[in-house]
Structures are given as C-alpha cells and as structure tokens.
Amino acid sequence: MQNLTRASEELYRRTPDERFASVADLWDYCQKLKEWSTIRWVPTADVNIGPMGHSLRLPFNGETFSFNDWSFTQLCSLAGVSKDTVNKLSPETASCVFLETLPRGSKPLQVLTMGDTIRSVHGASYTRLFNVELLTVIREFAVDFQPPQATRVGSNEDPDTPPATGLYCGEQDMFCFFIDPTGWTEIEGEPFAPGFFVWNSEVGRRSIGIQTFWFQAICQNHIVWDAAEVVEYKRKHTTNVHEALRTVQQLIEQLVNKRDQRRDAFVNVIKNAMQTKLGDDVEDVLKVLRKHGIPKAAAAEALKIAARQGKFTVFSLVDALTRLARQYENAGDRTEADARSSSLLALAV
C-alpha cells in the first residue's frame, strides 16, 4: 500500500479563485471557457510580435491580442529564448528578439484566444481536449462519486473564501479528486473505498490523465492513506488524444464494477454470517473462538453478549467481539482484536 499526495499538493498550490464547490459549478465554468475561446491558425509569416505600451501584442486579422503569463512562456519556448532575459528588455527590443528567433515555416501556429487575451500558443501538431469534455465523461460514468470533505488550507485563510473541495480549475489546468463514500467494502479483511484523481489542460500545461485507487482514509490535507490497487493512465495532447476519453471511461467503469462485485460479495458474506452457527452449545462455540486466537476472557464475554440475542451465529459473535475491542485503550490492541474477530467471517464464506 502507498500514500498518495497528488491531491494534497494541488490543495496547497491552488488559489481561492481556482476552487469550485460542486461538479456542476466546475462544469458550467469549463463550458463557458470553451464557448468563449477561439482557436486561430496564424501563418508564421504573419506572426509579428509588436510593442504596445509596456507590453507585447500580437496583431492578427485586424485585431490585437495580449499574452498572459502562460502563453508568453510558450512563446519564449517556441522562439528558443529565455523568458527571464526577455522580461528584462524593453518591449521594442523584445519584439526584435522574437522577429529574429521565432521559427518560420509552412505550418501555422495554433493560437487559442479568449477575448483579447492569448491563452496558449502551440505548433500545428497540438490537439486540444477541452476540460468540459472530460467532465462530461465523469458526470455520466462516475455518478456515485463526489469530492472528499472540504477543507481550509490554513488557519489564517479568510473565512469568506470558498473551502478547498478537491475540484480545481485555473488558467493553466484542471484537477479533480473523487471518492465514493458509500462504496466501502473489505479487501483481505480491511475496509477500503474507491476513488480517483483526474486532470487535464486545455493550454498544454499537462497531459490528460486519471489515477484510480482503493483507499482506507483521507486526512484534512487530502492525503490519501494506505491506497491499494493504484492504476494510472496519462496521454499527451497529440493526434487522437480524444481516444483518451474512452480509456478514462473504461477505467472508471472498471472501478465501479469492482466496487459492486466486492460490495455484493461482502453483503453475501454478512448474510451467510447471520445464518451460520458456530455451534449448538457454549462449549462448542468456545472451542471455535479459542482456535481462532480469541483470548479466553474475551471469548467468554462475547458469548454472554451473543446469548442475549438467542443464537451463536458468526455475525453475532463478530459483532460482540467488535464491541469489546472498542473498550481497549491501546489502538494496537484494538486493531489486533478486530483482525482476530474479522477472521471468523471466513467461516461464513
């Protein structure tokens, strides 16, 4: 098992304006981003970065567009120049740098704009997948999943700001954290529930990806503790990237199917445990309990509790032993006692 910190890292790097209270709110925001954005194919011969005031602009087809921090970073990368160095130059000098260094060829640049702002700059081979397309798949196939408990990043955070829910979307990317709070089942005698992370970027900041897992606990910092069966898939935004949506769908469906199978199997075990008797008299039952490592005193007390219910079934005795374990002060003793009592469920399989 392993501890997953990806959601916790996102929690601490996101600003309040990147947090969303619900999937519906996030979907609406992403849908608007898609509607308000325009993909423009700009011939490299027409890429003439020019000064305007204290910044740089890209004029195209009678309009003028400004860069945000991310698209300017991409522009510098395409030109093969240092962003820090360009930032030290005057707009006039910087425009000359791009005139000399930007590659010129037959393929146009792919420029994503929203209003008069450039969200991203890519070569012709980049294939965009909008966040709302990924969220649509999640809403359709992960219907029982929801964000984990909301939390505050720090004690000094303004109480009027929205808490962090695990749903984030900013200028550069989107990240979501989902769990199924009703999906608890047992794996090798220990309780687990299913969950997954999913992420994407419309502007080339990161790949599209998903990580599914089964977890035992999630702390306030959104660290996933004792995760098992961790599966990760990611894909770059190249040709046929939309095929990734099908893979995301399949991984969610596999998680849901396994959850249902395990939950059904566990329900059947409990049903059998409620019908399976460990013996007809106290002495027979006591022998079975002692054989499974139950201390004599605990076994005798459990028999008294079960006797009040009128039968010595597997379920009644496991329930009695679990109640007794809660009285132990030491956590290690409680865990050991629970493990011993849970082993009795194997008699009902």
Distance in angstroms (rounded) separating the CA atoms of residues 176 and 213? 14
Contact by Cβ (8 Å): 173, 200? yes
Residue 319 has what pLDDT? 76
Distance in angstroms (rounded) separating the CA atoms of residues 237 and 126? 6
Distance in angstroms (rounded) separating the CA atoms of residues 142 and 195? 10
Residue 155 has what pLDDT? 57
Mean pLDDT value of segment 264-283: 72
Predicted confidence band of residue 339 (pLDDT cuts 50, 70, 90):
low
Mean pLDDT, all residues of the chain: 87
Is residue 341 pLDDT above 70, yes or no?
A: no
Q: What is the pLDDT of residues 83-94, one digit of tens each?
A: 999 999 999 999
Q: Report the alpha-carbon angle 280-281-284, nearest 5.
A: 90
Predicted confidence band of residue 260 (pLDDT cuts 50, 70, 90):
confident
Is residue 157 pLDDT above 70, yes or no?
A: no
- In Å, the largest CA–CA distance within the chain is 95
The neighbouring-strand residues paired with 51 are: 56
The H or E element containing residue 175 is strand 174-179
Residue 35 has what pLDDT? 97
Among the ranges given (131-140, 170-179, 312-321), the one the predictor scored with the smallest mean pLDDT = 312-321
Contact by Cβ (8 Å): 230, 4? yes
Residue 263 has what pLDDT? 77
Predicted confidence band of residue 309 (pLDDT cuts 50, 70, 90):
low
Residue 109 has what pLDDT? 93
Distance in angstroms (rounded) separating the CA atoms of residues 176 and 241? 19
- 212, 98, 198: which is closest to 138 by C-alpha? 198
- 61, 94, 101, 95: which is closest to 80 by C-alpha? 101
Decide which of 315 and 137 is more confident.
137
Q: What are phi and psi of 120, to 5 degrees?
A: -160, 160
- Percentage of residues in the chain with pLDDT exceeding 90? 58
